[in-house]
Amino acid sequence: MSVRVAVVSAGLSQPSTSRMLAEQIANAVSAQVSARGEAAEVEFIELRELAQELATTMVTGGLPTPAVAAARDVLANADALVAVSPTFTASYSGLFKMFFDVLDPDTLRNVPTIVGATAGTARHSLVLDFAMRPLFTYLHALVVPTGVFAATEDFGGGADGAGLAGRVRQAASELVTQVMQAGSAVGGFVQSDADLTRRVSGNQLGATPDFASLLKGHAGSL
């Protein structure tokens, strides 16, 4: 079994603490997957590089650019998600929100997810529970109990279990446990595909109805 992990980082600077945190979490997830005898395929989506593409997508009525379409496909095919944003005005960044606004509502349905955030001070840590969890709950993702918040002082600290490294390991363990349980579900005890809403990227266009179908039953009067 190969576990596909999508990692979304919304840091604006380079280097970025949000990217650093995303990498720590991704490495912990990979280690947890490997410890269970499986392989992890990790793919990063750096939103800083997609900023102009996302703006173009938004102002063209949601028509994705090729780069945005590719990012949406990554999430639609992922078995797990790690999403990290810097904290701006007590919430996630506008760039982070813009990316998840252009997703199909079913892209992340039932996807095990770790939410993470960074800020200059630990006073912003509630951003995980009051901003990020509601967003991913709306998108029907399965957010693991442990969120990972990192203030500036957390970077460069020791690997004590009560510190950042411990939170990262705990969140990774919860995520991989969810992924493995979903991958080894016993037949007959899970809903069939027909009973579940299928995950889609939103890039697929449905068939365009012809004019005869559109005008069916129209009497011609206004």
**Per-residue confidence at 160, pLDDT binned at 50, 70, 90?**
very low
> pLDDT digits over 55-108, tens only?
999 999 989 999 999 999 999 999 999 999 999 999 999 999 999 999 999 999
- The pLDDT of residue 199: 75
- The pLDDT of residue 195: 45
Give this prediction's pTM: 0.85
State which CATH number among 3.30.200.20, 3.40.710.10, 2.60.40.10, 3.40.50.360 fits the domain covering 2-214. 3.40.50.360
Question: Is residue 47 scored above 90 in pLDDT?
Answer: yes
With a pLDDT cut of 70, the percent of the chain lying above it is 83
- Domain boundary assignment for the chain: 2-214
Buried-exposed string 2-37: b where 16+ CB fall within 10 A, e elsewhere: ebbbbbbbbbeeeebbbbbbbbbbbebbbebbeeee
Residues 157 and 164: their CA atoms lie apart, in Å, by 8
Strand partners, 44: 7
Question: Is residue 191 scored above 90 in pLDDT?
Answer: no
- The pLDDT of residue 3: 96
